[in-house]
Structure 1
Amino acid sequence: MASGTFGQLIASVFSYFRDKSWFLRWRGGEKRTDMDDELQDILLRLGGVTSWDQLREAVRDAVGITLQNTEDLVVYLSDIATGTLVSQDGLAGVVHTLPKSGLAGKCAEEQHLIVAKALDIEDPLCGLLPSASPTLPENRTVACIPVLGSDNARLVGIIAVVCDAVSSNQEKRLSLVGRHIAVCVQRLHQMATQQRLPPASTTTPTACSGSPDGGTCMGSSYDNGILQLCAELHDNDPASMQTKVVKYLERHTQSECCALWIVSSEDATEVFCQVLGNRVLEEEIRILIPLSCFNTVVTEERSITLDDISENSRTELEQKMDMKIKSLLCVPVINQARSKVVAVACCINKIGAPRFGQADEDVVRHCFRYTVPVLTSVMSLQKERQLKQETQSMLQVAKNLFTHLDDVRILLREIMMEARNLTQAERCSLFLVENDELVAKVFDGHVLDEMGEVRIPITQGIAGHVATTGKILNIKDAYSHPLFYRGVDNSTGFRTRNILCFPIKDRSSECAEGGQPGCPSVLHKDPSQLKDCWCVGDGKRCSERHAVVGIAELCNKVNGLYFTKHDEEVAAVFSIYCGISIVHSLLYKKMKDAQYRSKLANELMMYHMKGTEEDIKPLLSKESVPKPESFHPQMASFTYSPRGIPDEETIRATLSMFYDMGFVYRYRIRHSTLVNFCTLVRRGYRDPPYHNWYHAFSVGHFCFLLYKNLNQLDMLKDIEVFALFVACICHDLDHRGTNNSFQVHSQSVLAALYSSEGSVMERHHFAQAMCILNTEGCNIFENLSTEDYQTVLDLMQDIILATDLAHHLRIIKELKQMAEDGYKVEDPHCHKLLLCLLMTSCDLSDQTKNWQTTKRIAELIYKEFFTQGDLEKAMGMETPEMYDREKACIPELQINFLNHIALPVYQILSKVIPQSGLLVKAVDANKTMWLRLKRESSLRKLSSANSIDFFQIPFRSENGAAEFGKGLSEETEEELAEGEAEPGRGSKAGAVEDISERNNNNNPGRDTTTKSS
């Protein structure tokens, strides 16, 4: 048989092995199933059949797997003698030809799949297929499947079967099966023809001048042997397949031992052997190609014998293979698809002859001409499996590393162990980059103490070179490298053969300089900490490349001559996980250290916030707490301002309100705990002009006034009133005299903590309140039930956050709607809205006091505002008008504030609780005063570079306003009214001038048009 024809037949079998998914040509993106795998096995059997009986059996199995519930199958195949389609099925094994009529005849004529739901009673197939009755059950059919030759024109077979309905996917599979059956029929015909050739043509390989690859044409015995070998190469284990090939070579070349040396696909610098004779080696044998006898075979792609190699190469090969070599044949195995040597086949020690000849080389080449596609495919599959395993291993490594972030030393030990396992290294050293030094905290898996740390300069040795360049370094011969220091080996007796040193980088952060990837950003927040990192790039600090945070140095490849390119790739991937884990571990340590420092600072702060024994001792007796009216007869009146109470008496007054409102006995608050709590709250306030302890005390007092004067406050639960009062005295704890906007724009620590949630200062106030409550001996909620405890804390948080005017403006529509619809006691949302409304009314309560108090409070507020404005200007920030002492018009700002904020609050409150209506009148009276002061200041043309000087100017409009609710004198009101009607004209202008004149006369020597001192 011609080798070219035979090669075409065999090629189809190997195409299947080389790429099953391409060969089978599944279409439509179908999901692979178990049936697909079974079909592949059947197709493999079809490729290895050598008789008609085997073919018929394989066809039955293939159709049975492809179709569902098959029954009564008949197979017609082409007869080589007559050319007709014959079968032995259905007639007790009697050979009969294909019927020319009926369904089978129609199929033979039309040459495509025909499916019938019933057979005519006269159809010849009725006698051949007993279950194919004229009336088939539902979903049962008779299928006639044509088998066409390679030219798709000649019919070589027909299959008739009773089965379930045939789907489109099953049609595709039947077409595939038919093509394989046609190949098998053609091959069996050719084998039958070949058997009639003279015996001489079947014994010895002969030269084939027509072979396209310049090889040899082998006789049928070799072809049958190759065919049988190919049929056996169906497993996916490279070692098992190599064993079968090696046994074939040993048998046909009469060799004592054969081996297949695989060329490394990574860099083609070494070959390795997994199978030696009939032994699968536990550890691969590896040989460097340039220094071995295989160099000629691989580079020149030609065969060599023992006569072509040196004595040294022979000795090395004998040592590696552990056997005496008497004769040798090395043949290159070429992958024609890639035109490169993929292996070297070695035949050792010819049996019965002193050396190997050309016939032996031909046998080897003939073998691999057909088996190399399968071998390379399986090797690729093994590599993919290895890659999958390494990926899974890498994920497990990442998991192992990320579970040790809390201790950097244990983490480093885990990194060393994983690095050794992944690359199969004998030893590993790990260095961290600190202050221009490489620091080894862990050596060979042992954690060193602080005193035992090993430190070397960052520019020294192999590790230093990798640290400064940021590039991996693979040294195959350590002693020949100029950077290697032998002193350690000489002192320890350890021999370093090869080294793989790779950098561990932080790839997740950006460099401080230019915003480029580089040093860990956390280190760049403080310029003084820039020394803690070293960025890669010509030894320059903070370059645009990634930061090197550590160096790993692996020594001595365990099962290889040196570390391979694959090891470098594994190390590169592994270093990413190492970098992430190390950086996060260091950050975690910094965070824990910061937490400890914060805790210490908090304890220190709380210690100093506690009152002295002299301060607290007089308050520890319950009898020392007087009634509220003992501080002032009008203590429970809306007209009273608590700012008149001396500072040293404010804590006692706060205790008095706690007792008078019944909280102490209702919630079982220990007196000493209440004293400690109030003392810490008092000391928790800073001393800005306005947002200080007096403000908190006044807000708490107004809550007390609401409780005492508004009977309708019963619409709230007791615990809600309790939470409201506590929130009032805590609502501005640790206020810094600046607003939320300033905190955010100045990028303060508070903004970093709370800006993402909004209401920066309010959240800080609540956090400080919680800090006080968590201080030993200060938790006034300690005797509450678990449910009430959680409730009161939630209420306090909501109430304190409600002091943010931005929050108030967001809910103002809901407040107005609640006032219109009426308060619903059973609605929890109404309770929450009312608490927010009451808190805001308490916070703004200074606007409900008499004019002198209101004006004095306004002066304190604007002192605080202008101080913030000065800070904003110094920082280059844009300053709003109300914070700018050079631009602010205080009366106008106050009028706008009362119109848009304060008055709506008390108007809504008066609708919900009518008893509070007098508060609206009080705010209105103060608004009237601001209106008059605005008019008088504009008529007098007051000017000053500092708006705060406004409060030092005496205004005639204030005469007669000494008492709460009283207005200006009638004379002044008439004159102002005339001036407001037509300012600057006629007699009215004269009235304005006269007012200014009289005020100047009342304050001799004061120039109202210049800045006061």
Structure 2
Amino acid sequence: MELMEPKTWVYRNLSMFNIEGFSSDAASINWDNINNLDSVDEKVVYLINALKSQAEASTAFLINLLNVSEEAVVQVVLDKILESPVRTPLSEDTISDIVEYKDNSLKCAENLDPKIQGLIKEIVPEDSGEVMIIPILAKEHRGNLPNKSIICPVYLVCLVNPSKNNSYVSKLVNETFKYCLTLLLNTRECEEERRLKQQCQSLLSVARKLFSHLGDLCDLLKEIMSEARRLTNAERCSLFLLDPDHMHLVAKVFDGVSPAEKRTEVRIAKDQGIAATGQLLNIRNAYKHPLFYKGMDEATGFHTRNILCFPIRDEDNIVGVAQLCNKIDGHFDYFDEQVANAFSIYCGISIMHSLVYKRIQDAQARSKLSNELMMYHMQVSDQDVADVITCPNPHEIPKFDSFSFTPRKLLHKETPCFVVKMFEELHFIEDFRIKKETLIRFILYAKKRNLEALAYFVSCLCHDIDHRGTTNSFQQQSNSVLASLYSSEGSVMERHHLSQTICTLNTEGCNFLESLNRDDYIKCLDLIKDMILATDLATHYNLHSRQLAMAEEGYDKTNPEHRYYLCSLLMTCADLSDQTKDWRETKKVAQLIYAEFFMQGDLEKKMGKEPANMMDREKASIPDHQVEFLTECCICIFKLLATIFPSAKQLVEAIKQNIICWEAAKDIFEKLCVEGRTSYEVLTSEDLETEIQAAMKPVKGV
């Protein structure tokens, strides 16, 4: 700022004198002392007392004119720094009147703003005598125009009943402020910077507090309003969130108390009231504002004097409005507006994250509840485990260890015993120090989840857990929950089976692998993962050329890649092993498979999609699809296995036999379908099996 010559007003009995040859007493002020004082208030105390003494006044004070926040503030009277500053708002007209003042003291007195007069009366009673007012003007640069400056009043020096004449006092103040105005303004600016820094620190502290309440939206909103009221020193705070369904602003927190606690609800139409503007508003007289909704005061009995209202936005839209009422020590100022603007950003971010966090919590809770319900209905009791341990049946079945044995011949209730038997015969329990009771509990849990999974130890046990009866492509096309979780990784259903396997292992009392050391445990889980994912035929086709190269080179058990390729091949073979059984068993499996295929086809039709022919119950030619599957997929896989293990050639022969049977079934399907039956009805009929037996009599083994 650039110092301007002070002008003089005399309040009440005003007069002006021009004194020539004036010798200022400003030089008698100890400037070293004033320079050493820290705060602007301390400097003002020193300066005011010096002016009072020199002017021989009864009292003195300084009115601080804050042009940015448009306020007149008295913080010091003589040697007393007021605990609660006396302040009044300024208007542009008031500032203009002060700037335009020249030499007409009577005109100046007449134009002195009533608010400033009222401020002076709060400091000096009416019977105290004459008050002499000297405005201090300075040039201030504003905005983005460095060469444009405006004249602003920065202080009003007030001296009560000075004994010295007006000209002397005016010159005294003029000379004094030539020395100290820059110092005062710099100190004031420094203190405002310090205040802004403190507010920034407060906002950072608030941000930390807000993010600690993300888990409870109601608590978060109350914390937001509590901090807003504290930062701006307001009497009341309310926060309204937009109800998009009914286009109302609903007070989620009103006067620091949530409606749930007050058992009331405050609603304002979106287009009604100050809160509905969606803009920051600083209103110094609420009842004179055209948008002020008096109904709120009438409903609550509260009298609103002034309002600071600011919007709260998410990334795109306004989600709410915060409203602060009645600043305790005057009016909301420029700095309150800055705090509100910054604070609204934290509010929007924290509310948005709280709502997202709440949705995540709800989803997790639903998932947990679903899992708990599933586990409740699939409880394995101690008695169930004891029944397996003490089972007296030797479980001796002819050809149990042969390729032609069909697991579906086992009684459902005895399957856990046979799994334990295989673990024992392969020395897994002894070699890996597996707790038998824990193993049995795991097997019983797996058994309750998916009966088709009881075939091939851990991975084979669990490779189809919670199968949904639909393909991976259907999961992705339907944008299912599973697809959203796993589609980026591929093998949607297989990854779900793997997840359910790990879930079962993590179920209390089911981790039969817990006795393994850390390295073996990690390796075992990795193997389970690789094996279950290998049951996706897409994975097999990706590995087929490398498995074929391995078979041609000769399997090397010391080669980690060979071991991986072989494990994947064995899993694929185990998954397709039903196709190596006799035709009657293969037909039963086909019934199960096509029941799932046609169910998926029906769903795709409802979705407006055209299903593949093999999924369409009206178009599917089951014998043709079976021949194609066995010829192009199964027989190739088992030939590869037979290259490594020659004894597996009998599995290839069994598949060839089934191809012959399905070829023979084509004519039977065509004949029976002409009679009006669907392809699936023919598949499940006894007539098909009878006619196949008749047609295949010359074929040994059918």
TM interval, shorter chain, is 0.7 to 0.9
The structure showing larger relative contact order (alpha-carbon pairs under 8 Å, at least 6 residues apart) is 2
For 1:329, what is the secondary structure of its paired residue? strand
* Cα shift at 1:821: 4.9
Distance 1:678-1:364 versus aligned 2 partners, 3 A rule: same
Report the alpha carbon displacement of residue 849 of structure 1 after superposing the two structures with TM. 2.4
* 2-structure distance, mates of 1:301, 1:834: 100
Letter in 1 for 2:324: L
Task: Report SS of the residue matched to 1:635.
Answer: coil
Q: Go from structure 1 to structure 2 and tell me whether the alpha carbon gap of 1:477 and 1:731 turns closer, same or farther (over 3 Å shift).
A: same
Q: 1:328 aligned to 106, 119, 132, which one? A: 132
Residues in 1 aligned to 2:584 and 2:698: alpha-carbon distance in whole angstroms? 8
Deviation for aligned residue 1:727: 1.4
Structure 1 residue 732: Cα displacement: 0.7
C-alpha distance in 1 between matches for 2:554 and 2:59? 102
Q: Partner residue of 1:556?
A: 326
Alignment match, 2:227: 418
CA distance change for structure 1 residues 660 and 310 in 2, over 3 Å: closer, same or farther? closer
The number of residue pairs the alignment matches comes to 666
Tell me the amino acid that sits aligned with residue 343 of structure 1: V
1:198-213 → structure 2 map (5 Å cutoff): none
CA distance in 1 between partners of 2:576 and 2:338 (Å): 68
Change (3 A) 1:878 1:246: farther
The alpha-carbon distance between structure 1 residues 390 and 623, as it changes in their structure 2 partners (threshold 3 A), is same
> Which residue matches 1:286?
87
CA distance in 2, matches of 1:941, 1:836: 40
- 8 Å CA contact 1:230–1:371 kept in 2: the answer is no
Alignment of 1:397-796 (within 5 A): 397-430=206-239, 438=250, 444=256, 452-459=261-268, 465=273, 469-472=277-280, 474-477=282-285, 482-485=294-297, 488=300, 497-505=305-313, 507-508=314-315, 517=316, 545-548=317-320, 552-558=322-328, 560-610=329-379, 619-627=388-396, 630=397, 633-667=398-432, 673-685=438-450, 693=451, 695-697=452-454, 700=455, 703=456, 725-785=457-517, 787-796=519-528
Provide the residue aligned with 1:959 in structure 2. 696
Q: Is the 8 A contact 2:491 2:536 kept in 1?
A: yes
State the SS of the aligned residue for 2:264: strand
Query: Which amino acid letter does the alignment assign opposite residue 393 of structure 2?
Result: S
Query: For residues 860-882 of structure 1, what are the alpha-carbon distances to aligned partners after superposition, in whole Å with 9 as ceiling and x for unaligned?
Result: 32332122011111111342343
Which of 141, 150, 156 is 1:345 aligned to? Answer: 156
Q: CA offset at residue 842 of structure 1?
A: 0.9
How far residue 920 of structure 1 moved from its aligned partner, in angstroms, is 3.8
2:568 is aligned to: 836
- Closer, same or farther in 2 for the Cα pair 1:622/1:369, shift >3 Å? same
**Amino acid in the other structure paired with 1:458:** R
Residue of structure 2 equivalent to 1:137: none
- Which residue is equivalent to 2:11? none
* TM-score, length of structure 1 as denominator length: 0.56
Deviates more, 1:282-291 or 1:301-310: 301-310
Cα 1:942/1:249, change in 2 over 3 Å: farther
CA distance in 1: counterparts of 2:219 and 2:158, whole angstroms: 52
- Report the Cα distance in structure 1 between the residues aligned to 2:220 and 2:169, rounded to whole angstroms: 58
Contact 2:486 2:492 in 1 (8 A): yes
For residues 194-222 of structure 1, what are the alpha-carbon distances to aligned partners after superposition, in whole Å with 9 as ceiling and x for unaligned? xxxxxxxxxxx9xxxxxxxxxx9x99988
Task: Letter of the 1:289 partner, please give it.
Answer: L
SS in 2 for 1:455: coil
Q: Aligned ranges for residues 2-13 of structure 1 at < 5 Å?
A: none
Distance in 2 between the 1:866 and 1:755 partners? 23
* Separation of aligned partners in 2, 1:225 and 1:299: 28
Do residues 272 (structure 1) and 73 (structure 2) align? yes
Pair 253,503 (structure 1): closer, same or farther in 2 beyond 3 Å:
same
The aligned residue for residue 798 of structure 1 is 530
- Seen in structure 2, the aligned counterparts of structure 1 residues 467 and 262 have a Cα distance that, compared at 3 Å, is closer
TM-score by length of 2: 0.77
Q: Which amino acid aligns with 1:288?
A: P
State the Cα distance separating 1:812 from its structure 2 match: 3.5
Deviations 1:70-112 (A, max 9, x none): xxxxxxxxxxxxxxxxxxxxxxxxxxxxxxxxxxxxxxxxxxx
Q: Would the aligned equivalents of 1:681 and 1:772 in 2 still touch at CA under 8 Å?
A: yes
Give 1:320 deviation, angstroms: 3.4
Deviations 1:426-445 (A, max 9, x none): 4445566779684666865x
1: CA distance between counterparts of 2:606 and 2:511? 42
Q: In the alignment, residue 319 of structure 2 is paired with which amino acid?
A: A
CA 1:639/1:347 → structure 2, altered by over 3 Å: closer, same or farther?
Answer: same
**What per-residue deviation string (whole Å, max 9, x for no partner) do you get for residues 789-838 of structure 1?**
44433432332222222333343344344445554444444433332222
| Residue identity matched to 1:563 | F
Uncovered stretches (5+) of structure 2, i.e. residues with no partner:
8-17, 142-148
Shift of residue 335 of structure 1?
A: 1.6
* SS at structure 2 position matched to 1:459: strand
Task: Give the Cα separation in 1 of the matches to 2:411 and 2:698.
Answer: 25
Give the AA of the match of 1:736.
R
Question: Following the alignment from structure 1 to structure 2, what is the Cα–Cα distance between the partners of residues 825 and 219?
Answer: 115
Matched residues in 2 for 1:298 and 1:839: separation? 93
Letter of the aligned partner of 1:546 in structure 2?
Answer: I
Shift in Å, 1:737: 0.6
In 2, Cα distance between the equivalents of 1:888 and 1:300? 96
Secondary structure of the 2:399 match is coil
In structure 2, do the counterparts of structure 1 residues 312 and 799 end up closer, same or farther at CA, with 3 Å as the change threshold?
closer
The DSSP-based 3-state class of the residue aligned with 1:879 is coil
Q: 1:603 to 1:352 in 2, by over 3 A?
A: closer
Please state how far the C-alpha of 1:402 moved relative to its aligned partner: 0.6
CA pair 389-622 structure 1, distance change in 2 beyond 3 A: same
RMSD of equivalent CA atoms:
5.0
Equivalent position to 1:869, from 588, 601, 620: 601
Provide the rounded CA distance (Å) in 2 between the counterparts of 1:336 and 1:240: 24
Provide closer, same or farther for how the CA distance between residues 258 and 678 of structure 1 changes in structure 2, counting only shifts above 3 A: same
Kept in 2: contact 1:754–1:763 (CA 8 A): yes
The amino acid of 2:157's aligned partner reads C
Residue type of the alignment partner of 1:356: N
1:396 corresponds to which letter in structure 2?
Answer: S
Q: In structure 2, what is the Cα distance between the partners aligned to 1:267 and 1:312?
A: 16
Question: In structure 2, what is the equivalent of residue 149 of structure 1?
Answer: none
Give the secondary structure class of the aligned counterpart of 2:215.
coil
Q: Counterparts of 2:337 and 2:210 in 1: how far apart (Å)? A: 20
Superposed CA deviations along residues 428-472 of structure 1, whole A, max 9, x for unmatched, are 45566779684666865x789x6x334224128x99846655455
Q: Aligned equivalents of 2:218 and 2:369: distance in 1?
A: 25
Deviation at 1:926, TM superposition (A): 4.1
Q: Secondary structure at the match of 2:374?
A: helix
Compute the displacement of 1:261 (Å): 3.8
Query: By how many angstroms is 1:746 displaced?
Result: 1.9
Give the match's secondary structure for 2:339. helix
Q: Percent identity between the aligned chains? A: 36
Cα distance in 1 for partners of 2:358, 2:420 equals 44
Letter in 2 for 1:485: D
Are the aligned partners of 1:475 and 1:500 in contact in 2 as well (CA < 8 Å)? yes
Aligned twin of 2:166: 356
